[in-house]
Amino acid sequence: MDNTQVNKQIMAENIKHYLKLKNINVKDFAKQLGFKYTTVLDWVNAHTYPRIDKIEEMARYFNIDKSKLVERHDTTGAESDLSKMLKNVESYDGKPVTDNDIEAIRIFLQGRFSNR
Protein backbone atom coordinates (compact mmCIF):
# COMPACT_ATOMS: atom_id res chain seq x y z
CA MET A 1 0.00 0.00 0.00
CA ASP A 2 1.50 3.35 -0.99
CA ASN A 3 1.70 6.39 1.33
CA THR A 4 -1.27 8.09 -0.30
CA GLN A 5 -3.50 5.10 0.37
CA VAL A 6 -2.13 4.76 3.90
CA ASN A 7 -2.98 8.41 4.59
CA LYS A 8 -6.49 7.93 3.20
CA GLN A 9 -6.94 4.90 5.46
CA ILE A 10 -5.70 6.78 8.54
CA MET A 11 -8.05 9.67 7.79
CA ALA A 12 -10.97 7.28 7.27
CA GLU A 13 -10.32 5.50 10.58
CA ASN A 14 -10.00 8.78 12.46
CA ILE A 15 -13.18 10.28 11.00
CA LYS A 16 -15.10 7.11 11.86
CA HIS A 17 -13.68 7.20 15.38
CA TYR A 18 -14.79 10.77 16.02
CA LEU A 19 -18.18 10.20 14.40
CA LYS A 20 -18.69 7.30 16.79
CA LEU A 21 -17.63 9.41 19.78
CA LYS A 22 -20.07 12.12 18.76
CA ASN A 23 -22.73 9.49 18.01
CA ILE A 24 -23.47 10.87 14.57
CA ASN A 25 -23.74 9.16 11.21
CA VAL A 26 -22.00 10.18 8.00
CA LYS A 27 -25.11 11.63 6.42
CA ASP A 28 -25.95 13.91 9.35
CA PHE A 29 -22.30 14.89 9.73
CA ALA A 30 -22.09 15.92 6.08
CA LYS A 31 -25.35 17.86 6.36
CA GLN A 32 -24.27 19.72 9.53
CA LEU A 33 -20.98 20.79 7.95
CA GLY A 34 -22.45 21.56 4.55
CA PHE A 35 -20.32 18.91 2.84
CA LYS A 36 -21.57 16.69 0.03
CA TYR A 37 -22.62 13.34 1.49
CA THR A 38 -20.88 11.39 -1.29
CA THR A 39 -17.64 13.30 -0.66
CA VAL A 40 -17.67 12.47 3.05
CA LEU A 41 -18.53 8.88 2.19
CA ASP A 42 -15.45 8.76 -0.04
CA TRP A 43 -13.31 10.00 2.88
CA VAL A 44 -14.80 7.46 5.29
CA ASN A 45 -14.25 4.65 2.77
CA ALA A 46 -10.65 5.78 2.13
CA HIS A 47 -11.31 6.51 -1.55
CA THR A 48 -10.26 10.16 -1.39
CA TYR A 49 -8.49 12.51 1.00
CA PRO A 50 -10.02 15.82 2.13
CA ARG A 51 -8.50 19.20 1.35
CA ILE A 52 -6.87 21.04 4.24
CA ASP A 53 -9.78 23.50 4.60
CA LYS A 54 -12.16 20.56 5.08
CA ILE A 55 -9.80 18.96 7.60
CA GLU A 56 -9.76 22.24 9.53
CA GLU A 57 -13.56 22.42 9.51
CA MET A 58 -13.84 18.83 10.74
CA ALA A 59 -11.28 19.47 13.50
CA ARG A 60 -13.28 22.50 14.67
CA TYR A 61 -16.49 20.46 14.55
CA PHE A 62 -14.97 17.66 16.65
CA ASN A 63 -13.13 20.21 18.84
CA ILE A 64 -9.79 18.50 18.23
CA ASP A 65 -6.43 19.38 16.75
CA LYS A 66 -6.01 18.64 13.03
CA SER A 67 -3.32 16.10 13.87
CA LYS A 68 -6.00 13.93 15.46
CA LEU A 69 -7.49 13.50 11.99
CA VAL A 70 -4.37 13.14 9.87
CA GLU A 71 -2.07 11.07 12.07
CA ARG A 72 -2.37 7.48 13.20
CA HIS A 73 -3.60 7.18 16.77
CA ASP A 74 -4.52 4.35 19.04
CA THR A 75 -8.29 4.63 19.00
CA THR A 76 -8.86 1.34 20.83
CA GLY A 77 -8.69 2.99 24.24
CA ALA A 78 -5.56 1.01 25.09
CA GLU A 79 -3.13 2.43 27.61
CA SER A 80 -0.71 4.90 26.03
CA ASP A 81 2.22 4.31 28.36
CA LEU A 82 5.42 5.92 27.10
CA SER A 83 7.38 2.66 27.35
CA LYS A 84 4.87 1.06 24.96
CA MET A 85 5.07 4.02 22.63
CA LEU A 86 8.87 3.81 22.48
CA LYS A 87 8.55 0.39 20.85
CA ASN A 88 7.03 2.14 17.81
CA VAL A 89 9.56 4.94 17.43
CA GLU A 90 11.31 4.76 14.06
CA SER A 91 12.85 8.19 13.68
CA TYR A 92 13.44 11.53 15.34
CA ASP A 93 13.92 14.74 13.39
CA GLY A 94 14.21 12.69 10.20
CA LYS A 95 16.99 10.46 11.54
CA PRO A 96 16.54 6.74 12.26
CA VAL A 97 16.28 5.74 15.91
CA THR A 98 18.23 2.61 16.86
CA ASP A 99 17.55 0.07 19.59
CA ASN A 100 20.46 1.61 21.50
CA ASP A 101 18.78 5.03 21.25
CA ILE A 102 15.54 3.60 22.63
CA GLU A 103 17.39 1.98 25.52
CA ALA A 104 19.19 5.27 26.29
CA ILE A 105 15.83 7.10 26.34
CA ARG A 106 14.37 4.42 28.62
CA ILE A 107 17.34 4.66 31.06
CA PHE A 108 17.12 8.46 31.07
CA LEU A 109 13.40 8.38 31.83
CA GLN A 110 13.80 5.77 34.56
CA GLY A 111 16.36 8.01 36.27
CA ARG A 112 14.22 11.10 35.80
CA PHE A 113 11.07 9.52 37.21
CA SER A 114 12.81 7.73 40.09
CA ASN A 115 13.75 11.16 41.50
CA ARG A 116 10.13 12.27 41.83
Q: What is the pLDDT of residues 21-59, one digit of tens each?
A: 889 999 999 999 999 999 999 999 999 999 999 999 999
User: Which position has the higher pLDDT, 113 or 5?
Assistant: 5
pLDDT band at residue 78 using 50, 70 and 90 as cut-offs: very low
Instruction: Provide CB contacts within 8 A for 43, sequence distance 6+.
Output: 8, 11, 12, 15, 49, 50
Q: What is the pLDDT of residue 74?
A: 60
**8 Å CB contact between 31 and 37:** yes
Task: Give the DSSP letter of residue 64.
Answer: S
